[in-house]
Structure 1
Amino acid sequence: MEDFRSWVQASEGSDNIITAAFRYSSGAATQAGTVIAKQGCWSLLKGGIVSNVTAPAHIIFKAKNSSAQIWVDNVSVQPFTEEQWRSHQDQRISMVRKRTIRLNISDANDNGKTLGGAKVIINLVKQHFPFGCSMSKNIVNNQAYQSWFSSRFRVTTFQNELKWYDNEPTQGKENYANSDYMINFAHSHGISVRGHNVFWDNFNFQPYWVKGLSPDQLRAAADKRINSVVSRYRGGVISWDVVNENLHFRFFEDKLGNDFSKSAYWKAHQLDKGATLFMNEYNTVEDGRDPASLPQNYVKKLWEIQGSVGGAPIGIGLQSHFSQFQPNIVYMRSALDTMGATKMPVWLTEVDVKPNPNQVKYLEQILREGFAHPAVQGIVLWSGPAVDSGYFMTLADNKFSNTPGGDLVDRLLKEWRSEDAEFTTDDNGLLEVSLFHGEYQVTVVHPTTNSSTMLSVDINDKLPAKESFHIHIHV
């Protein structure tokens, strides 16, 4: 794999799409990256390639506007092996997701004498990073499904059960029975819920009765819909995908005007000010060949919507549906860099990989890259047990035993959390330990009297790389 960077400029055009590619002597070409360049301005084209070809290649640059000239400067191609990239991911994970705490243990009844040999027990109370999985109505009254899910995941997105076509399949006859049950189940097990979705901008996924409505009828139906679902679950979801896939589709904009998305986000914000409102799109981190959802186009739409809700944060939902081919992790990182520069919350919302002999390997590469990136604040898999249909990958069979994908997820869940552990302070009463972000209970036991004290510690990215805590034991 190679990291690719170059500065480019177009001679004309305000939004000129410039693409870089490697062309081999065989005629095959591999795209390296894409950027939207403005006339007279240098733009950084960041990307990368994943190729098994060993042959000479030409780097070519192409502008969508064929009459534009392209200037290129400072081209950089940096090769990496998979092992080198993995090592860098591990370093970033340690830096981004962990903190080192330094405990100074002393005896409060002996003039603060340090306590060498004190026992320190650290118990994880709550992990901060939300890693989850989608959920379907098949979990309703299914104890095996419920046990499988609640023992692993802390956040979920419903497969269909909060979509308009599921809540109101017949006009005027709303049905929230499944979503009510699922939200109550999630809350009772400490599982957060993403509200997916209020509207879907794709014509094909409207309730059948919506497609033939006049503009006035559609406006009234849409207003009823957003008031109904957002008010019903206000405070019960952590976020809303307000207008799903509005970079690729525009069903509502074509019917109700170009400002539909902005007005829908404004309305959702008025109804549920405690929830983060998300855009949610595909092909932003997966593939740089889709002009509709290029990172710069995504950011442009993001700022338009954010301005409509008084500057309230708009979440960046990156669906992350990867193909059966080797994922371009280098491009994924460059796209996440662009999205992260907005300082808005970034989530990988529907992660999956199409079936192929290396499906589990590719999934691991994607999940590690997401977890290692400082901009990513949550990950949700678009998957589940075999009892659910419509998924490209499953995590458990019909008896809820792990598939290879499920084994991977369990392994990462264990790797990315600090297990309960017992330590002993050194002769100076000191202990240093590196912990993943989370809430912990720290118990210190006196080495001779067995008296103890407890405190709660919150490890988060606001702490410095190494934080000291002074703990005094009263005998």
Structure 2
Amino acid sequence: MKTLGSFCRVLPLCLVLLAARAATAVAQSNEPERDEAGRQTLAGANERIARYRMGMLVVRVLDRRGRPVANARVNVEQTRHAFLFGTNIFRLDPRDTSPAQRTYQQRFAALFNYATLPFYWGAFERAEGRPDYARLEAMARWCAARGVTPKGHPLVWQEVYPRWAPNDPDVVVPLLRRRVNDLITRYRGLINVWDVINEANAAASFDNGVGRWVRRDGAAAVVRDALSWARAAGAGRDDETFVYNDYETGPRNVALLSELQARGSLPDVVGIQSHMHQGAWPLARVWETCETFARFGRPVHFTEVTVVSAEPRTSINYHGPPATDWPTTPAGEARQAEYVADLYTLLFSHPAVRAITWWDLSDEGAWLGAPAGLLRRDMTPKPAYERLLELVRRTWWTHASGQTGRAGDYQTRAFLGSYSITVVGASGRTRTVPAEVTRNGDGQNVVTVRL
């Protein structure tokens, strides 16, 4: 397959470094994915989706004198979800016009409204003082042109550490603070969501500047400091969102967040990774994870979701090169599709969850060499991609039409998000207006259209 642009020339290095995860990573359960508790939880999902992900839309049609217009035709067309459905787009190269790259872009844009962009320090700034601003700006502008929300990932992390960066925390901490401030201010208005710090719970096992910083000050203090830098750079803007991201779903992460809460330093979003290379999580565990982290009163993002389309592996070499002998299989693709539909339905139904990010879009270049993509290496869609497309853009998507009544109103239940509303009066006079459906206080979203 043709190389997909300049990023792919550094991607193998990133993948090897990304694989160097702590050996204490939480092992995945081999229990049945649909245990009885999971079945019961999933059984109420559609009711919860209707309650938490929909609102009442009222289109009120008036004439020029402010009088109600009856029998006007109304068409309601959703244009974007409020919920963030995403994936990383590490293989995006807007300059590449190859068929594979065009297909990659088309498949992404057809399904997703949220994208994770790679700001790994050691790849972004391979030579000191020479960060790759232009490539990441091009990726972010590609997203903006398509109504996609980009997220920068990550600003502070102990992995993908630059070879030139010092190991003395007294020296590296000012460099990291400058990096956080520089990136947030430079990309303001283009990238407003950031994974500020990644996996601090595991950092102490790394012998570099970040690892030594965590050993010296403690994980909670390091997370607090990084978030404080981000907030200072954000200058209190409401449109900036700062995430703490971790694969720890047990007591260590609960303790870290509890300490941050006690200090008044919680992140804006709690990011939960769910890499299931070793087996899909039982649905009851998924729900329990949502409940555990929802208690902190912050939105929960599932930031890195992996479900393989082959047999899971009980042993993963996080410190070695990507696997070359782990191909997707028809049976694995069928299992992946079934589980993914259940997983997304369950997560979409939990009121605290606001985003789900898949990891990676394609098997080509996927982390660990796993068959983790929604697309195969040749960019053809797996059944899981088709199932998600059906859910996200059809089942959970509003397209409605009808006529206004005597009071000039047309109303319908609609999924939260952005809309285009077209009204046609009896004379043929037509108006099209944008609208937003949100969960507001009285439960109604009233859009007034004057003909």
- What is the TM-score with the length of structure 1 in the denominator? 0.70
Deviation at 1:191, TM superposition (A): 1.8
Q: Are the structure 2 counterparts of residues 379 and 470 from structure 1 closer, same or farther at C-alpha, using a change threshold of 3 Å?
A: closer
C-alpha distance in 1 between matches for 2:295 and 2:251 = 20
Task: Give CA deviations for 1:186-243 in whole Å, capped at 9, x if unaligned.
Answer: 22222221111011135xx422343x63343333433443344334323332222222
Among 404, 409, 420, the alignment partner of 2:383 is 404
Task: Give CA deviations for 1:124-151 in whole Å, capped at 9, x if unaligned.
Answer: 2433222111011443423413333233
Task: Give CA deviations for 1:321-362 in whole Å, capped at 9, x if unaligned.
Answer: 234434222232233223223221221111111343322222
Q: What is the letter of the counterpart of residue 91 of structure 1?
A: E
Task: Give CA deviations for 1:73-108 in whole Å, capped at 9, x if unaligned.
Answer: xxxxxx5573x5433101111111111234565667
Equivalent residue, structure 1, for 2:57:
101
Q: What is the letter of the counterpart of residue 389 of structure 1?
A: A
Deviation at 1:431, TM superposition (A): 3.6
- SS of alignment partner, residue 297 of structure 1: helix
Q: Does 1:328 align with 2:277?
A: no
Compare the two structures and name the one with the higher strand fraction: 1
Among 362, 370, 376, the alignment partner of 2:339 is 362
C-alpha distance in 2 between matches for 1:51 and 1:437 = 29
C-alpha distance in 1 between matches for 2:153 and 2:300 = 16
- SS of alignment partner, residue 202 of structure 2: coil
Task: Give CA deviations for 1:272-309 in whole Å, capped at 9, x if unaligned.
Answer: 2342221101142xxxxx4423xx325314425643xx
Q: Does 1:92 align with 2:48?
A: yes
Equivalent residue, structure 2, for 1:435:
414
Equivalent residue, structure 2, for 1:299:
257
- SS of alignment partner, residue 178 of structure 1: helix
Q: Does 1:196 align with 2:142?
A: no
Q: Are the structure 2 counterparts of residues 199 and 430 from structure 1 closer, same or farther at C-alpha, using a change threshold of 3 Å?
A: closer
Q: Are the structure 2 counterparts of residues 304 and 415 from structure 1 closer, same or farther at C-alpha, using a change threshold of 3 Å?
A: farther
C-alpha distance in 1 between matches for 2:340 and 2:442 = 32
C-alpha distance in 1 between matches for 2:394 and 2:47 = 14
Equivalent residue, structure 2, for 1:70:
none
Structure with greater Cα Rg: 1
Q: What is the letter of the counterpart of residue 368 of structure 1?
A: T
Task: Give CA deviations for 1:3-33 in whole Å, capped at 9, x if unaligned.
Answer: xxxxxxxxxxxxxxxxxxxxxxxxxxx99xx
Tell me if structure 2 keeps the 8 A contact 1:215–1:255: no
Equivalent residue, structure 2, for 1:15:
none
C-alpha distance in 2 between matches for 1:471 and 1:170 = 55
Tell me if structure 2 keeps the 8 A contact 1:302–1:314: no
- SS of alignment partner, residue 201 of structure 1: coil
Output aligned runs, 1:196-345, within 5 Å. 196-202=153-159, 205-210=160-165, 213-250=167-204, 251-254=211-214, 256-258=216-218, 259-273=221-235, 274=237, 275-284=240-249, 290-293=250-253, 296-303=254-261, 306-307=264-265, 314-345=268-299
Equivalent residue, structure 2, for 1:393:
372
Equivalent residue, structure 1, for 2:5:
none
Deviation at 1:112, TM superposition (A): 4.6
Deviation at 1:402, TM superposition (A): 1.0
- SS of alignment partner, residue 248 of structure 1: helix
Q: What is the letter of the counterpart of residue 373 of structure 1?
A: H
C-alpha distance in 1 between matches for 2:402 and 2:55 = 17
Tell me if structure 2 keeps the 8 A contact 1:104–1:469: yes
Equivalent residue, structure 1, for 2:23:
none
Q: What is the letter of the counterpart of residue 372 of structure 1?
A: S
Unaligned runs of 5+ in 1: 1-29, 32-48, 54-78, 285-289
Q: What is the letter of the counterpart of residue 442 of structure 2?
A: P
Q: What is the letter of the counterpart of residue 302 of structure 2?
A: L
Compare the two structures and name the one with the higher helix fraction: 2
Identity of aligned residues (%): 21
C-alpha distance in 1 between matches for 2:33 and 2:142 = 45
Q: What is the letter of the counterpart of residue 414 of structure 1?
A: R
